[in-house]
C-alpha cells in the first residue's frame, strides 16, 4: 500500500477519500476520552471497502467523523480527512452542509430512526434534491419518484405518498438507499445497512446497493460486524479494534490468510453447523474501556498468543501482503477460510 504518498496529490488522482492520523476525542460526564487513535486509510474510486469489528471498536465513529456528525462541543477531531480537495476535519459548517447528502451520504442501521415520521418518504427525498440542486418542488418530487423506482419499489408514486411507519423494514431501507443515492454521491457510508433485516431481505438490499453504486460510480464504505458479508461484497477490508486499525488488506488475502489474532478470532466465532456444539471458539473477554486502555497492543488482554513484548507499542506494518498491527504476525499461522 503506497498510502504514504503526498496526500493532496493522491486525493486528487486515485483516492476518493484519504484519511491521515485521524484522532477523535469525545466528552461525556466523566471528561474527555479518545475513541479513535491515528486512523489512516483511503477509499479508491468505485471501490467497496469493508470495515469490521465488534461494537465499540470505532467503526461508526470513523464514519460519523467523515461527515462531522458529532456535536461540536463534545467532540475534538484532529488529523486530515481529504475529500475532493478539502480537509473535512477543518472545513466550515457551510461547506459540510453542501457535502453531506450531495457528495458523501450515509445509510444507518435502523431506517426508522433515520426517517422523519411526520413527512412522507417522497417529501423527505425531494428535500435532499431541492437543497442541493435548487430545483422546483415539482421537479424534486419527480426525481424522488424516479429514485424510488430505481430501488425496485413496485409502485413508486404511491410509495412516495406514504409515511415511513406504513413501510416494512426492507422497504424503509430501500427508501434510505434511494435518499442516499438520489444526488449520485461520490462516497456512500453504509453503517450496518442490513443488520436489522432478515437474511433474504439482506441479500436483496446488498444486491441493490452494489448494483446502484456501480451505476452511479459511487464508492462504498461498508461498516458491518458480519465478515461473511464482507467476504461476499467488498474489495478490501479494514479490521478495527478499540479505536485502531489492526489489519487492512484485500478481502481474499485477509479472509484466507488473516494475520491479526483478532481478525482470526472474529472469523472463528461465526457459528456453523459443522462445528461441534459447545465448541465454538470465541474471543475471551471484551473490548476494553477507552478510559482503561492497556499499554502496547490493545488486544493483548484477550489474545491467546500474548507474550512480554506485546506490552510495547504496536505499529501497523506490512506483513504477508497486508497491513497488520501485531509484531508476532509473521510467527503465527492463523486459520483462515478456504480460498
Partner 1 sequence: MKLPAATVKDLHVTFGGTVRAVDGVTFTVEDGEIFGVIGESGSGKSTLGRCLVCLINPSDGEVRHRDVDPFALSRRQLNRHRRRCQMVSQDPNAALDPRMTILQSLCEPLNIAGIGSREKRREKAYEMLDRVSLAAEFANRYPHELSGGQKQRVNIARALMLDPELIVCDEVVAALDVSIQADMLNLFSRLKDELKLTYVFISHDLRVVSHISDRVAVMYFGTIVELGPAREVMDRPLHPYTEALGSAEPKLAADAAERRGRIILQGEIPNSAKPPTGCRFHTRCPRAEARCSGEVPATRELMPGRYVACHFAEEMLARHSDTTTIRPGDNGARAATAQPVELRHDGRA
Give alpha helix (H) positions in the chain. 7-13, 59-66, 93-99, 111-114, 121-133, 137-150, 156-160, 169-181, 199-216, 227-233, 251-256, 261-268
Q: Which of 39, 144, 264, 283 binds partner 1 (CB under 8 A)?
A: 283
Q: Which of 14, 78, 282, 311 binds partner 1 (CB under 8 A)?
A: 282
Distances (CA, A) of 235 to 42, 52, 192, 229: 13, 13, 17, 12
Per rule CB under 8 A, is residue 165 in the interface with partner 1? no
Of the ranges 23-31, 119-127, 222-230, 293-301, which one interacts with partner 1 (CB under 8 A)? 222-230
Shortest Å, Cβ 17 to partner 1: 25
Per rule CB under 8 A, is residue 227 in the interface with partner 1? yes
Q: Which of 72, 272, 313, 331 binds partner 1 (CB under 8 A)?
A: 272
Cα separation, 334 vs 339, in Å, equals 14
Q: Which of 30, 136, 277, 308 binds partner 1 (CB under 8 A)?
A: 277
∠ CA 253-259-262, rounded to 5°: 115
Which among 64, 79, 63, 86 is positioned nearest to 11, based on CA atoms?
86
How many residues of this chain bind partner 1 (CB under 8 A)? 47
| Residue 9 or 335 with smaller CB distance to partner 1 | 335
Per rule CB under 8 A, is residue 229 in the interface with partner 1? yes
Cα separation, 301 vs 284, in Å, equals 9
Per rule CB under 8 A, is residue 97 in the interface with partner 1? no
Q: How many CB atoms lie within 10 A of CB 33?
A: 15
Shortest Å, Cβ 319 to partner 1: 21
| Residue 139 or 149 with smaller CB distance to partner 1 | 149
> Cell for 153?
419499489
Shortest Å, Cβ 159 to partner 1: 12
Q: Which of 138, 278, 308, 331 binds partner 1 (CB under 8 A)?
A: 278
Cα separation, 311 vs 224, in Å, equals 29
| Residue 82 or 263 with smaller CB distance to partner 1 | 263
∠ CA 330-332-333, rounded to 5°: 105
Which residues of the chain form contacts with partner 1 (CB under 8 A)? Answer: 54-55, 152-154, 168-171, 198-204, 207, 225-229, 231-232, 255, 265-275, 277-283, 286, 337-339
Amino acid at each position: 500500500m503506497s498510502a504514504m504518498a503526498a496526500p493532496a496529490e493522491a486525493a486528487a488522482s486515485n483516492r476518493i477519500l484519504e484519511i491521515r492520523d485521524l484522532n477523535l476525542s469525545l466528552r461525556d460526564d466523566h471528561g474527555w476520552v479518545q475513541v479513535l487513535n491515528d486512523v489512516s486509510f483511503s477509499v479508491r474510486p468505485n471501490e467497496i471497502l469493508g470495515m469490521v469489528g465488534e461494537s465499540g471498536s470505532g467503526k461508526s465513529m470513523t464514519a460519523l467523523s467523515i461527515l462531522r456528525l458529532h456535536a461540536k462541543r463534545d467532540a475534538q477531531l484532529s488529523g486530515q480527512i481529504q475529500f475532493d480537495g478539502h480537509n473535512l476535519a477543518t472545513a466550515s459548517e457551510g461547506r459540510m452542509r453542501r457535502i453531506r447528502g450531495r457528495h458523501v451520504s450515509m445509510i444507518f442501521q435502523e431506517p426508522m430512526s433515520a426517517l422523519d415520521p411526520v413527512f412522507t418518504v417522497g417529501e423527505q427525498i425531494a428535500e435532499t434534491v431541492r437543497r442541493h440542486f435548487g430545483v422546483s418542488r415539482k421537479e424534486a418530487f419527480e426525481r424522488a419518484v424516479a429514485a424510488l423506482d430505481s430501488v425496485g419499489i413496485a409502485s413508486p408514486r404511491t410509495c412516495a405518498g406514504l409515511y415511513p411507519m406504513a413501510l416494512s423494514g426492507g422497504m424503509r431501507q430501500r427508501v434510505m438507499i434511494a435518499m442516499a443515492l438520489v444526488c449520485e454521491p461520490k462516497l456512500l457510508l453504509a453503517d450496518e445497512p442490513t443488520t436489522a433485516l432478515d437474511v433474504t431481505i439482506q441479500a436483496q438490499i446488498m444486491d441493490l446497493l452494489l448494483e446502484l453504486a456501480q451505476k452511479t460510480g459511487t464508492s462504498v464504505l461498508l461498516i458491518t460486524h458480519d465478515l461473511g458479508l464482507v467476504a461476499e461484497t467488498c474489495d478490501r477490508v479494514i479490521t478495527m479494534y478499540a479505536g485502531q486499525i489492526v489489519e487492512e488488506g484485500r478481502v481474499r488475502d485477509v479472509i484466507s490468510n488473516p494475520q491479526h489474532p483478532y481478525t482470526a478470532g472474529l472469523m472463528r466465532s461465526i457459528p456453523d453447523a459443522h462445528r461441534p456444539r459447545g465448541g465454538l471458539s470465541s474471543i475471551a473477554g471484551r473490548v476494553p474501556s477507552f478510559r482503561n486502555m492497556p499499554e502496547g497492543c490493545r488486544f493483548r488482554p484477550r489474545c491467546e498468543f500474548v507474550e512480554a513484548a506485546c506490552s510495547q507499542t504496536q505499529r501497523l506494518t506490512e506483513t504477508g501482503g497486508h497491513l497488520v498491527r501485531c509484531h508476532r504476525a509473521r510467527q503465527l499461522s492463523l486459520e483462515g477460510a478456504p480460498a
